[in-house]
Amino acid sequence: MLKNIPPILPPELLKRMSEMGHGDELVLTDANFPAVSHAQRLVRCDGVGTVQLLDAILQLFPLDTYVERPAAVMQVVKGDPVIPIIWEDYRRLIETYEDMSDALEYEERFDFYERAAKAYVIVATGERAQYANLILKKGVIFPESSSAQAQLNSESN
């Protein structure tokens, strides 16, 4: 057992997230996404929804601050009447954890599939909402600021 790691995250996903470097991408897919045929590395989280999983992931996973939009969703196909309200949950969580208010870009369906196929890992969820697929670009964990380090050094002297 480990402390402070959300129990919803399976060990294999933690391993894959740890292996990822700056700019690598992680894809959360809904239950309809062809994850097996697109994944280089696949982690199954069939009984979990994407919002629950995103909440747990963002506690550990930094988003890329060197790009304008470090997250992407699949655009609604023209003529499809679906309104993906789940995107609001994604926006809210990203803003909560990363303080980014406009982090989502919108990828055409087949462009999304192509990008997902190049991702470091695809996480197949049991999410039933349509258009619940999400790509996250991993960022950098910065060292403590030099002023914070200076404060620590002065306190220890």
Q: Which residues are catalytic?
A: 22
Phi, psi of 137 (to 5 degrees): -100, 125
Give the helix/strand (H/E) hosting 121: strand 121-125
Residue 22 and residue 140 in contact, taking contact as beta carbons nearer than 8 Å: yes
User: How far from chain centre, in Å, is Cα 125?
Assistant: 13
Distance CA 96, CA 115 (A): 26
Candidates 38, 22, 33; CA nearest to 114 is: 38
